[in-house]
Chain A
Amino acid sequence: RKEVEQDPGPFNVPEGATVAFNCTYSNSASQSFFWYRQDCRKEPKLLMSVYSSGNEDGRFTAQLNRASQYISLLIRDSKLSDSATYLCVVIKNKAAGNKLTFGGGTRVLVKP
């Protein structure tokens, strides 16, 4: 079993619609959680950190459920520019240098 698992998609989303997807992680002691965005043939870029209380950044909302070991990302009012692969990222042990453990990514395609 992979340490961080994601539905690879693609999620085909009409422009203006809402899309949500999850990621599960296997290590219950994981300490930090993030969503990164990766465009085709580009490097990953931090989209947002994920906090236990849930957090929002504009049209993006992230939630963490420690009991069930999953995090979610919701995108409201999808834009064509939201088309990308969204990578779920976990830090298992901050004391060990903060190396990132990545999920395989969820591909989102927003269509007119």
Chain B
Amino acid sequence: GAGVSQSPSNKVTEKGKDVELRCDPISGHTALYWYRQSLGQGLEFLIYFQGNSAPDKSGLPSDRFSAERTGGSVSTLTIQRTQQEDSAVYLCASSRQAGETQYFGPGTRLLVL
């Protein structure tokens, strides 16, 4: 069956611009996670959704980062006023329920010039 999909696969933007990253989880998966992977920091947790609510936003690095999930399905991660240090691979994962195996999407490679 279809796995987690993310779009765009690559995004180049100028410092100061806003970007939106999209995640389509596996159908029926109620839990959705955003992580990012950068050279200096490795893979780090950003935010977790259970259904449409986000019980844990503790990993969002600043108030420039926000995320939402609608219809218990698609999620969008928005970065406002991008900075060069935002350059990373943003990975989305979903699981059928919180506590079950997380399946990762291919990621969005973000480059802020």
Contacts and interface: CB of A to CB of B under 8 A. Distances in A.
B106 A43 contact: yes
Contacts of B44: 102
B13 interface: no
Given A43-B107, A44-B43, A100 B102 contact: yes
Nearest to B56: A97
A99 B42 contact: no
A94 B50 CA distance: 13
Contact of A99 (B45, B101, B104, B107): B45
A65 B31 CA distance: 29
| Size bracket of the A interface | 10 to 19
Nearest to A6: B42
B26 interface: no
A67 interface: no
B59 interface: yes
Interface string B45-61: 10010100001100100
Contacts of B104: 43-45
Contacts of A98: 31, 48, 95, 98-99, 102
A1 interface: no
B59 A99 contact: yes
Contacts of A97: 31, 48, 50, 55-56, 98
B95 A101 contact: no
A34 to B, nearest CB: 9
B56 A96 contact: yes
Given A42-B106, A43-B105, A94-B99, A99 B48 contact: yes
Nearest to A102: B43
Nearest to B3: A43
Nearest to B95: A98
Given A42-B106, A43-B104, A43-B106, A99 B43 contact: no
6 closest Cβ pairs, A-B complex: A43-B104, A102-B43, A97-B48, A99-B45, A104-B42, A98-B98
